[in-house]
Amino acid sequence: MVRQADTGLGEERLTRQRDAVLQVIRSREDHPTANEIFQAAREQLPTISYATVYNSLRYLKEAGLVHEIKFGDGASRYDRETDRHDHAICNECGKLVDFDLPQAAELIQAAARKSKFQAASVHLTLRGICPDCRKR
Protein backbone atom coordinates (compact mmCIF):
# COMPACT_ATOMS: atom_id res chain seq x y z
CA MET A 1 0.00 0.00 0.00
CA VAL A 2 1.30 3.41 -0.93
CA ARG A 3 0.32 5.64 1.88
CA GLN A 4 1.02 9.19 0.80
CA ALA A 5 1.15 10.60 4.31
CA ASP A 6 1.49 8.71 7.55
CA THR A 7 -1.27 10.23 9.54
CA GLY A 8 -1.23 7.75 12.34
CA LEU A 9 -4.84 6.99 11.57
CA GLY A 10 -4.45 3.38 10.56
CA GLU A 11 -5.61 2.23 7.16
CA GLU A 12 -6.84 5.59 6.00
CA ARG A 13 -5.27 7.40 3.08
CA LEU A 14 -4.79 10.79 1.55
CA THR A 15 -7.11 10.22 -1.40
CA ARG A 16 -7.47 12.50 -4.39
CA GLN A 17 -10.48 14.17 -2.79
CA ARG A 18 -8.78 14.71 0.56
CA ASP A 19 -5.69 16.00 -1.16
CA ALA A 20 -7.75 18.41 -3.25
CA VAL A 21 -9.37 19.77 -0.08
CA LEU A 22 -5.97 20.07 1.60
CA GLN A 23 -4.48 21.90 -1.40
CA VAL A 24 -7.35 24.37 -1.44
CA ILE A 25 -6.72 25.23 2.18
CA ARG A 26 -2.95 25.40 1.75
CA SER A 27 -3.19 27.59 -1.33
CA ARG A 28 -5.21 30.29 0.35
CA GLU A 29 -4.16 33.15 2.54
CA ASP A 30 -7.63 33.42 4.02
CA HIS A 31 -9.73 31.00 6.06
CA PRO A 32 -12.30 29.45 3.75
CA THR A 33 -15.58 27.87 4.83
CA ALA A 34 -16.57 24.33 3.86
CA ASN A 35 -18.72 25.80 1.12
CA GLU A 36 -15.88 27.89 -0.30
CA ILE A 37 -13.63 24.84 -0.19
CA PHE A 38 -16.29 22.82 -1.98
CA GLN A 39 -16.52 25.41 -4.79
CA ALA A 40 -12.75 25.54 -5.21
CA ALA A 41 -12.24 21.77 -4.97
CA ARG A 42 -14.84 21.25 -7.68
CA GLU A 43 -12.60 23.05 -10.16
CA GLN A 44 -10.10 20.23 -9.77
CA LEU A 45 -12.51 17.38 -9.14
CA PRO A 46 -15.85 18.27 -10.69
CA THR A 47 -17.68 15.30 -9.19
CA ILE A 48 -16.60 15.84 -5.58
CA SER A 49 -19.58 16.02 -3.27
CA TYR A 50 -20.37 18.25 -0.38
CA ALA A 51 -20.37 15.31 2.01
CA THR A 52 -16.89 14.34 0.88
CA VAL A 53 -15.63 17.83 1.62
CA TYR A 54 -16.96 17.48 5.14
CA ASN A 55 -15.57 13.97 5.47
CA SER A 56 -12.21 15.16 4.20
CA LEU A 57 -12.17 18.11 6.54
CA ARG A 58 -12.82 15.82 9.48
CA TYR A 59 -10.08 13.48 8.33
CA LEU A 60 -7.55 16.28 7.78
CA LYS A 61 -8.40 17.80 11.12
CA GLU A 62 -7.91 14.52 12.97
CA ALA A 63 -4.67 13.97 11.10
CA GLY A 64 -3.52 17.39 12.29
CA LEU A 65 -3.10 18.73 8.76
CA VAL A 66 -5.59 21.56 9.06
CA HIS A 67 -7.22 23.47 11.87
CA GLU A 68 -10.90 24.25 12.31
CA ILE A 69 -11.95 27.66 13.57
CA LYS A 70 -15.46 28.01 14.94
CA PHE A 71 -17.05 31.22 15.97
CA GLY A 72 -20.68 31.38 16.77
CA ASP A 73 -21.42 33.23 13.57
CA GLY A 74 -21.99 31.17 10.49
CA ALA A 75 -19.88 28.37 9.17
CA SER A 76 -16.64 26.92 10.49
CA ARG A 77 -13.51 28.19 8.80
CA TYR A 78 -10.43 26.16 8.04
CA ASP A 79 -6.86 27.21 8.60
CA ARG A 80 -3.65 25.79 7.15
CA GLU A 81 -1.81 26.98 10.28
CA THR A 82 -2.00 24.10 12.73
CA ASP A 83 0.25 25.41 15.49
CA ARG A 84 -1.49 27.00 18.44
CA HIS A 85 -2.43 30.57 17.71
CA ASP A 86 -5.06 33.20 18.29
CA HIS A 87 -7.53 35.07 16.11
CA ALA A 88 -8.69 38.61 15.57
CA ILE A 89 -11.99 39.33 13.84
CA CYS A 90 -12.94 42.68 12.40
CA ASN A 91 -16.32 43.89 13.60
CA GLU A 92 -16.77 45.93 10.42
CA CYS A 93 -15.73 43.70 7.53
CA GLY A 94 -15.48 40.31 9.22
CA LYS A 95 -11.83 39.81 8.31
CA LEU A 96 -10.14 37.05 10.28
CA VAL A 97 -6.45 37.31 11.10
CA ASP A 98 -4.09 34.88 12.84
CA PHE A 99 -1.61 36.01 15.43
CA ASP A 100 0.33 34.45 18.25
CA LEU A 101 0.43 35.58 21.82
CA PRO A 102 3.70 34.59 23.48
CA GLN A 103 2.13 34.66 26.93
CA ALA A 104 -0.21 31.79 26.00
CA ALA A 105 1.63 29.39 28.31
CA GLU A 106 1.10 31.58 31.37
CA LEU A 107 -2.46 32.24 30.31
CA ILE A 108 -3.42 28.62 30.22
CA GLN A 109 -2.00 28.21 33.71
CA ALA A 110 -3.87 31.22 35.06
CA ALA A 111 -7.11 30.11 33.42
CA ALA A 112 -6.75 26.60 34.81
CA ARG A 113 -6.14 27.95 38.31
CA LYS A 114 -9.14 30.27 38.18
CA SER A 115 -11.55 27.75 36.70
CA LYS A 116 -10.19 24.71 38.57
CA PHE A 117 -10.23 22.81 35.29
CA GLN A 118 -7.45 20.59 34.10
CA ALA A 119 -6.39 22.57 31.05
CA ALA A 120 -6.25 21.12 27.56
CA SER A 121 -6.12 24.29 25.43
CA VAL A 122 -6.95 28.00 25.44
CA HIS A 123 -8.49 29.95 22.60
CA LEU A 124 -8.33 33.68 22.56
CA THR A 125 -10.30 35.88 20.20
CA LEU A 126 -9.91 39.59 19.79
CA ARG A 127 -12.78 41.55 18.31
CA GLY A 128 -12.10 45.02 16.99
CA ILE A 129 -11.43 47.01 13.85
CA CYS A 130 -8.84 45.86 11.34
CA PRO A 131 -6.18 48.23 9.97
CA ASP A 132 -7.97 48.56 6.61
CA CYS A 133 -11.31 49.47 8.14
CA ARG A 134 -9.63 51.87 10.52
CA LYS A 135 -8.28 53.92 7.62
CA ARG A 136 -11.78 54.61 6.34
Catalog residues that contact DNA under the rule CB under 7 A: 1-3, 10-13, 15-18, 33-35, 45, 47-52, 54-56, 58, 70, 72, 74-76
In this complex, which beta carbon is closest to DNA, that of residue 16 or of residue 134? 16
Among 33, 45, 61, 86, binds a copy of itself (CB under 8 A): 86
Query: CA–CA separation, 103 vs 20, rounded Å?
Result: 36
Whole-number Å distance between alpha carbons of 19 and 44: 11
The Cα–Cα gap between 48 and 74 comes to 23
Of the candidates 43, 10, 6, the residue with the CA atom closest to the CA atom of residue 24: 43
35 lies in the binding site for a copy of itself (CB under 8 A)? no
Nearer to DNA, 96 or 104 (CB): 96
Cα torsion 89, 90, 91, 93: sign: negative
User: Which chain residues interact with a copy of itself by CB under 8 A?
Assistant: 68, 70-73, 76, 86, 88, 90-91, 97, 99-101, 103, 107-108, 110-112, 114-131, 134
